[in-house]
Amino acid sequence: MSSEKYTTTDRQPVGIHQSDQASSAYQARGVSATKDDVHQAVAGQDKGLFPGAFCKVLADPVGNPYWCAALHADGAGTKASVAYLMYRESGDPSWFAGLAQDALVMNTDDLLCVGAVDNFYLSNTIGRNAQRIDATCLAALIRGYDDLICRLQAAGVNITMTGGETADVGDLARTLICDATVFVRLRRDRVIDAAQIRPGLAIVGLASFGTMRGESRENAGIGSNGLTAARHLLLHPDYRSRYPESFADTMDPSQAYCGRWHLDDPLPGSSLTVGEALLSPTRTYLPVVRDILAADAGKAIAGIIHCTGGGQAKCRDFGRSVRYVKDNLFPAPPLFAAIRDSGQISESELYQVFNMGHRLELYCDPAAVPEIMAVCKQHQLAAREVGHTEQAAEDNEVIICANGATHHYKARGK
């Protein structure tokens, strides 16, 4: 890995500043890669006990001053549209089952970033168009939750299903919305506060792709972010005319399904078809992070970042005056390589929409890296030191060096 240091004056970055992107593969399809408007909308809200933490941390509702809590909501997003396409093409409702894992893990793996790794309480919310999503589809989705809870319990992670809500909202949902809410309590002295990310740390990336312990087949690594861009950049225009209900009627139809792939086409470099790759269930890092935090290396972790909305530029929202240098990323896994090779998205945007190979980052003392790697190896999970942090002159910034180019992402609004 390169040890070169970067300053704002010693090189001119090749990448495009996020704030300069007036048009993009994501924005053209009605989605914001950066969600700057969302951040502005919530800017005045109370930020909880640890204002710089990855998730909002609340006072313990039981009133124990040594404990705290977090309540988190997220979902599978537009990945549900891919499941709908697979269902319509095959007639098999089991394609909806993986959405349960997507919705749950997008919550729990955000919460593990503040140190919560066990004893979660789950409520699920399903909004459907009942004309297109019938009871067999709902049953498959609910079974998905039950199966995942059983698998995590076998791995020593306890999740209690508290119930949920299924609403017929055909006036709002063209197909399906799959969301979840998760609650957890944890000790205050075990909270990981991303505000503590500082210069001089190593960045260890945990792979989003491949097959780790507890998984039965290859994971393409996409998680549940960027699916609007991924499916429209990859999938064939056939789906535009056959399933117009699978994309927004506010979108210019010429932006829908602009790729060359059909769902059952083999994905080059992978054991999966394109459809299977897009629907790879979001991997959970709960068991491996639990073991890392329990080891000596856990004491050396200053922050954990879930590379979801914002991709590899997500980290810029945490810490102060930190330059995040990522110059040893994983080579792009096959699904991300196919998206890049579509030629419809810039390399700079690619890194701020997708995780590109690692969906979780641990920020730690460099001396702790070997033990973290050893724990990951026990879980058969690929990991690597993808970069480091430096002192920034003023605001946070992210520098990504990959494929002979340098991409520079400034702090929001800069």
Which residues have a Cβ under 8 Å from the Cβ of 188 and sit 6 or more positions away?
49, 65, 66, 67, 68
Q: Are residues 104 and 180 in the same domain?
A: yes
Q: Which residues pair with 186 in a beta bridge?
A: 68
User: 263 and 248, same structural domain?
Assistant: yes
Q: How far is C-alpha 26 from the geometric centre of its chain's CA atoms?
A: 16
The structure tokens 């349960």 sit at: 100
> 16-34 pLDDT, tens per residue?
334 334 347 656 655 655 5
Burial track 299-317 (b if 16+ CB lie within 10 A, e otherwise): ebbbbbbbbbbbbbbbbbe
The set of residues, in sequence order, having a beta carbon less than 8 Å from that of 272 and lying 6+ positions away, is 217, 218, 220, 266, 280
Pairing of strands 322-326, 397-402: parallel
Q: For residue 292, is it within any domain?
A: yes
In this structure, the answer to whether residues 219 and 343 fall within a common structural domain is: yes
Structure tokens, 184: 């957890």
Whether the Cβ atoms of residue 355 and residue 282 lie closer than 8 Å to each other? no
Cβ atoms of 226 and 353 closer than 8 Å: yes
Q: Which residues contact residue 275 at a Cβ distance below 8 angstroms, ignoring those fewer than 6 apart? A: 82, 85, 86, 89, 263, 264
pLDDT at 30: 53
Q: Does residue 47 sit in helix, strand or coil?
A: coil
Last residue of a domain, one of 188, 220, 243: 188
Residue 339 belongs to some domain of the structure: yes
Q: Is the alpha carbon torsion for 326, 328, 334, 338 positive or negative?
A: positive
Residue 307 domain-assigned (yes or no): yes
Residue 135 placed within a domain? yes
Within this chain, do residues 311 and 333 fall inside the same structural domain, yes or no?
yes
pLDDT at position 255 is: 93
Give the residue numbers spanning the domain of 23. 1-45+192-414
Give, for all 414 residues of the chain, the pLDDT tens digit.
444 444 433 433 344 334 334 347 656 655 655 556 555 655 567 889 999 999 999 999 999 999 999 999 999 999 999 999 999 999 999 999 999 999 999 999 999 999 999 999 999 999 999 999 999 999 999 999 999 999 999 999 999 999 999 999 999 999 999 999 999 999 999 999 999 999 999 999 999 999 999 999 999 999 999 999 999 999 999 999 999 999 999 999 999 999 999 999 999 999 999 999 999 999 999 999 999 999 999 999 999 999 999 999 999 999 999 999 999 999 999 999 999 999 999 999 999 999 999 999 999 999 999 999 999 999 999 999 999 999 999 999 999 999 999 999 998 866
Q: Which of 153, 168, 188 is the last residue of a domain?
A: 188
Q: What is the CATH number of the domain that holds 159?
A: 3.30.1330.10
**Whether residue 172 is found in the same domain as residue 199:** no
- Does 183 share its domain with 313? no
Q: Are residues 354 and 315 part of one domain?
A: yes
- pLDDT at 40 (0 to 100): 62
Gap between the Cα atoms of 125 and 163, Å rounded? 9
Clarify whether residues 103 and 26 are in a common domain. Answer: no
Q: Are residues 223 and 150 in the same domain?
A: no
Torsion, Cα 314 315 321 325, to 10 degrees, reads: -110
Token digits for 376? 């990951």
**Predicted pLDDT of residue 312:** 97
The per-residue pLDDT for 412 is 81
pLDDT confidence of residue 25: 67
User: Please, where are the H alpha helices in 77-218?
Assistant: 79-90, 97-111, 135-154
> Nearest 5°: phi and psi at 286?
-55, -55
- The pLDDT score that the predictor gives to residue 36 is 60
Number of independent structural domains in the chain? 2
287 and 148, same domain (yes or no): no
| DSSP single-letter state for residue 284 | P
Q: Is residue 21 part of a domain?
A: yes
- Number of other residues whose CB lies within 10 A of the CB of residue 125: 16
With contact defined as beta carbons under 8 Å apart, do 320 and 396 qualify?
Answer: yes
Q: Are residues 338 and 232 in the same domain?
A: yes
Map tokens 């998730």 to a residue: 55
- Provide the residue type at 52 as one letter: G
Residue partners of 65: CB distance under 8 A and separation at least 6:
188
Identify whether 50 is part of a domain.
no
Residue 407 host element (H or E): strand 405-410
**Same domain for 254 and 333?**
yes
Last residue of one domain, picked from the residues 157, 188, 219: 188
For residue range 65-78, list pLDDT tens digits in order: 999 999 999 999 99
CATH number reported for the structural domain that contains residue 306 in this entry: 3.90.650.10
